[in-house]
A = this chain, B = another copy of it.
Amino acid sequence: MQQFSTITDMRAWSRTQQREGAVIGFVPTMGALHDGHLSLIRQAKESATRVVVSIYVNPTQFDNPEDLANYPKTLEADLALLAKEGVDAVFLPTNEVMYPDGYATFIEIVGPLTDKLCAVARPGHFRGVATVVTKLFGAVLPDIAVFGEKDFQQVLIISKMVNDLNLPVDIQVGRTVREPDGLAMSSRNRRLSKESREKALGLPRGLELANKAYMDGERNAMDLIEKVANELLVHEGVELDYCDVIRLSGFAEVTQAVPGCVLAAAVFVDGVRLIDHIHLGAEHIGVEIDEE
């Protein structure tokens, strides 16, 4: 497995591969890899002949310095996982490579995709994401890039950006992978104590209950949101950052759920921020619900 830390080296490798006819699949990550990442890598392998993974904790997408400082770092374990997975190259840039002194260029997405949910909760977050993804694309020169559906607003924003800017990359979306207990896999889950983890399970369980209510005919957004809140706010140390019903077409907040809506929530559990969502009316997300 090749390792590169400069843009010149990374790009030279990709260009050589492409000249030899390779199709490059790319999975950008911030490390602290879990099965969710591995499933994206396997998906990339299905359509690409070479797979590149980047590990870079991008400072410009963190609105909170403490969150950045506490973001889990497990580089050696990550590299072992990637080697075992048969990844061809890893891109490990430093902050100096990505944002040298005098760095000045940012990508802004305006409109409905960036005026709600995580965009409001984390000011500047998606500007940082859009910018670093474009930079990583310029270094890796992928034909295909795979992003996880758990961060569904991010996926929509990146797809929009790629389409708007004509970036020559095919964006694919990988399904959310869950722990056996239903918690969506996330690098941040490592920061949960056993007790916090129990509280966190209210998030997928609440989404599942809300979806069940939707399937049973409930359309009032506030009532659906309450299903989630009820599962979470019974615990000390749990704060709902947002919980909204969003119609995907137009990315609009709605008060009455209609087909094609997502119920999305972000929650702080003992200071750890977790996000999850469910497509209302979709099959369940794999959480066992105890019938009352």
A contact residues vs B (CB 8 Å cutoff): 7, 11, 102-111, 113-114, 130-131, 134-139, 141, 160-161, 164-168
User: A74 CB to closest chain B CB, in angstroms?
Assistant: 26
Task: Say yes or no: A138-B110 contact (C-beta < 8 A), given A104-B160, A105-B161, A161-B105.
Answer: no
A–B pairs, 6, beta carbons within 8 Å: A104-B111, A104-B113, A104-B160, A105-B108, A136-B166, A138-B167
Contact B107 A164 (CB under 8 A): no
B105-A165 in contact (CB<8A): yes
Q: 6 closest pairs, A vs B, by CB?
A: A138-B166, A105-B164, A104-B111, A105-B161, A135-B166, A139-B166
A139 to B109, CA, bound (A): 20
**Complex alpha-carbon distance, A110 and B106, angstroms:** 8
Name the residue of chain B whose CB is nearest to the CB of A166. B138
Q: Within 8 Å CB of A113, what residues of B?
A: 104
Known: A7-B166, A166-B7, A168-B11. A105 touches B160 (CB 8 A): yes
- Other A-B pairs, 11, CB within 8 Å; known A104-B160, A105-B109, A138-B168: A11-B166, A104-B110, A104-B164, A105-B164, A105-B165, A106-B108, A107-B108, A135-B164, A135-B165, A135-B166, A137-B166
User: In the complex, are the beta carbons of B110 and A165 less than 8 A apart?
Assistant: no
Cβ contacts under 8 Å, A130 to chain B: 105
Q: Which chain B positions have C-beta within 8 A of A168? A: 11, 138, 141
CA distance A141 to B136 in the complex (A): 17
Q: Do A138 and B111 touch (CB < 8 A)?
A: no
Question: Which B residue's beta carbon lies closest to that of A130?
Answer: B105
Chain B residues lying within 8 Å of A160, measured Cβ to Cβ, are 104-105
Query: Hey, which chain B residues are within 8 Å of A11, CB to CB?
Result: 166, 168
Chain B residue with Cβ nearest A137: B166
The smallest C-beta distance from A59 to any residue of chain B, in angstroms, reads 15
Closest Cβ of chain B to A21, distance in Å, is 9
- Closest partner residue, chain B, to A98 (CB atom): B166
Cα(A139)–Cα(B130), bound, Å:
19
How many angstroms from the CA of A86 to the CA of B102 in the assembled complex?
A: 40
Cβ-defined contact, A107 with B105, below 8 A: yes
User: Are A107 and B107 interface neighbours, CB within 8 A?
Assistant: yes
Contacts of A166 in B (CB 8 A): 7, 11, 134-139
With A and B bound together, what is the CA distance between A108 and B141 in angstroms?
A: 22
